[in-house]
Structure 1
């Protein structure tokens, strides 16, 4: 195979390479399905009225969160699920001084524990809590996050929270779109167990919170949002951004973007080098042809002069 054909093959190969795409799926996106999502978008009401909020999800709105929203829950039958196509997945959420433990499973695999407790004792938003890589990008995967019943405290003044802010998905470049029908998730069709064998409770297993008077929902709906102290700079920033976590994670959107930029620069440099090489080869061939033509013309001229001298 000639160098010309090798250069063309190299260009075709480089053009066919497409870097993986990373995208955020917000907690409020219809692709994310929640069980028992029936409460107004005020977290303060639920935190002070835990009897009404047990195992329900509610919205907390703040600029600290991705797209300004966060889904929060406490209770042993709270579940969130998400179907996607991609090669890797990460869960972004918040950690609390009184954080719960969640159980997360991908494609009916063994559940893993996700800890929503802040190691500093202060609330931190935008935390990468879980990551999974090495998935088949051509297959539709389903991730299910559930509240670990061992974290549930029936006391009204000691709820332990689990919060979902976004999912980060690394897409295959050629992966088709996935249909995500919004349907309720129930544990009756799929019970999730922890590694210790603990099974999440059903609706009729929820302990009744201790009795006591509590403010009404209307009394708790103030215009101002509640504030939280956080050791993370993102807690007071107007721009949301995920922060690191002690758990290892193989997915990083910044690294993926950097790889894409470097790949593009290398592609342009290689393409330019190949084109220069082809141009040089073409010029060389043209020069050789011109030299051959000039040499042949000179030989003919000398031959004619020789005949003329011989005739004299």
Structure 2
């Protein structure tokens, strides 16, 4: 079962790594794209749910449903902010900041779940913070408005809500992966519907629609089914390691297909962020000292 879960998570992360490339070819803004993603994923997952007969054996618990609804809000905001970041900065930089999520999990766990903060966690957090400064190059921004328009805030918010999604999904154990993701994407449709500008879908090309549907059915429906179905059967450390398949694929595609080439400072920043997160994962537990 663990081997199957490892394969599923690896495939889901590899596919998700291409989402930035798909996103910039859709021709629609972040909010509208997330709305279509939610519709496609809901159709895809409900079809699988019915075909497999899982809806007949689903066990519903009020607490689980409430947690899933909350998780749905977090995951939708995560998507909107990530796609906003893609609109303002390169995919590689946005993904690097987005993958600060494990560090936010540590911080939020210490603040709200009373988990003990360690020297290891503090070092990793400081390293990642310095890396993020190198990536965005604060010295290049003369005014606050320039900084806000850089996309850094969007990427940081996407990482924060990704972390909240991970924390919330930990305590959802009874619902099937179909039900879990189906509820989340349905929440997305309801939340975003009042804000969608449908005129933005006029005049889109066939290519635009192929990329839009790809992000909906593949990157949302299929990927998130694999993701939530696999993480339940894997240790936290294994999940933390395998999610790095996502940024590696994203950065490689950005460099190979979109001709992105990071500056020396940005390269150092990317290495510091991933170094800080790897440090969090690999340092033996017995070497941790509580602070």
TM-score, with length taken from structure 1: 0.27
Structure possessing the higher relative contact order (Cα contacts under 8 Å, 6 or more residues apart): 2
Larger CA Rg, structure 1 vs 2? 1
TM-score, with length taken from structure 2: 0.28
Richer in helix (by share): 2
